[in-house]
Structure 1
Amino acid sequence: MKPLSVFIIEDEPLIASTIETALKKHRYYICGEADNANDALKDIYNLAPDLVLVDIQLEGYKTGIDVAIKLDELDIPYLYLTSQTDPKTILEIKQTQPLGYIAKPFTEAGLISSIEVAWNNYRKISQDYLLFSSNNQTHKVKQSQILYLKAFDNYCYIVTNTNKYLVPKTLKHLEKQINKELFVKTHRSYIVNITKITSLELQHVILTNIKIPLSQANKSKIKQLLKL
């Protein structure tokens, strides 16, 4: 199984080294490190880690919370490293969506257990639900309730029986987040919930009374999936 890739953002070298040693000991892969927000974001864009550990208090005028806001936009999960509990910091943290917090000082056992519990919970939610932003609101929709996803330039529509959300992400980006056993691509611009398909036509799949384009390249694959 591929090890979890972790990016560490910590401006205290001793703490950063302690974290790296502990994670490597438990077979995590450290894909990168940074001690400030600007370098961290530049590297994260290129490395696309599975998980980021973010110290709230960083060198420079940008804090870990500034990094977290960008990570939320990129849909990259993260945990805060913090010894900050003042009211102003807590208020700022509430504007972000971390998987959790690792309080300093921490033990190796505490660090590893915090990461494992947070990641396990995240995996469960990501398999059952799709988290996304639309109209400045964060939504959590059960994947089984989604009918289809449709590309729209650099945006994407997520359609359920009751709602149609316009999401500021590409179809390719969202394709990485959905349950591969539940969804299938019918056309370069459409991904459909397999369980919602009621019939096939020559150039369309039918979802009750909705027609979705079907490309010739995807037809045989979908026929096979429906048989299974």
Structure 2
Amino acid sequence: MSNKGKILVVDDDRLVLATLVHGLAQAGYAIIDADNGDEAILLARQHRPDLALLDIRMEGLSGFDVAHYLRDHLRIPFMFLSAFSDEDTLRQVKDLGALAYLVKPLDIHQIVPAVEAAFANRRAAPEPATKPSTPSLANLDPLAVALGIVMQRHDLTRTAALARLQEEARLAELTPQGWAQRLIATLEAQAGA
């Protein structure tokens, strides 16, 4: 199947995430997935997807936090998938400039047409005159980002990931903050940042 584009899919519900990944891959898209906002930002920096599908309410960085970063630093368009449709949520979605807002529960047959429309609109839009600035994770809490990385890599809860991070910091004779900064620096170097 041909690759129609690269999509970052972020949802902390693993069943929803697996369903989205499978359905979008079947529709011909290359998929990068994350189950938390911290890892989503690192993956977006490394892989530069064409579009992001973001859950809003997640532990750690929210979908809104990720959207701010994608918009301001990487200029990656995004859509939200959420079970929440209150006025405040809808106002924030609009203020952030989301391409679409889809209310869960959804099935993949509702999502694929919205994704295809987003790609069609993106192709029709003129390219920005300036390139995005080189992004930095400096404005994010390194400990929160490292915690997301440990959660993702080792399939741990936030509490278990924090315990592991603290133990690794102790063994390296660093503070948890220092260990987090070292981990992020290593990953950025590997990603060619």
Q: TM-score, normalised by structure 2?
A: 0.62
Partner residue, 2:16: 15
Q: Verify: 1:104 aligned to 2:66, yes or no.
A: no
Counterpart code for 2:67: A
Q: CA deviation at 1:121?
A: 1.5
**Gap change, CA 1:24 and 1:91, over 3 Å in 2:** same
Cα deviations across residues 22-75 of structure 1 (Å, max 9, x unaligned)? 111111111x21121111101111111111111111122x21011101111111
1:69-218 counterparts in 2 under 5 A? 69-73=68-72, 74-125=74-125, 129-131=126-128, 169=133
Distance 1:119 1:101 in 2: 15
The answer for unaligned runs of 5 or more in structure 1 is 132-148, 150-155, 157-166, 171-228
**Gap change, CA 1:168 and 1:22, over 3 Å in 2:** closer
Residue pair 1:82, 1:102 contacting (<8 A) in 2 also: yes
**Gap change, CA 1:50 and 1:168, over 3 Å in 2:** closer
Q: CA deviation at 1:91?
A: 2.5
Distance 2:111 2:3 in 1: 20
**Gap change, CA 1:119 and 1:8, over 3 Å in 2:** same
Distance 1:44 1:111 in 2: 20
Q: CA deviation at 1:19?
A: 0.5
SS at match of 2:95: coil
Q: CA deviation at 1:120?
A: 0.7
Higher relative contact order (CA 8 A, sep 6+): 2
Cα deviations across residues 92-145 of structure 1 (Å, max 9, x unaligned)? 2232111112221112211111111121112112xxx345xxxxxxxxxxxxxx
Distance 1:97 1:122 in 2: 13
Residue pair 2:93, 2:101 contacting (<8 A) in 1 also: no
Distance 1:119 1:3 in 2: 9
SS at match of 1:95: helix
Distance 2:47 2:84 in 1: 28
SS at match of 2:96: coil
Partner residue, 2:162: none
Partner residue, 1:175: none
**More strand by proportion, 1 or 2?**
1
Distance 2:51 2:11 in 1: 14
**How many positions carry a matched residue from both structures?**
132
Partner residue, 2:177: none
The sequence identity of aligned pairs, in percent, is 30
Distance 2:5 2:58 in 1: 24
**More helix by proportion, 1 or 2?**
2
Residue pair 2:3, 2:28 contacting (<8 A) in 1 also: no
Residue pair 2:36, 2:59 contacting (<8 A) in 1 also: yes
Partner residue, 1:177: none
Residue pair 1:79, 1:100 contacting (<8 A) in 2 also: yes
Partner residue, 2:26: 25
Distance 2:133 2:62 in 1: 25
Larger radius of gyration: 1
Distance 2:120 2:33 in 1: 23
Partner residue, 2:181: none
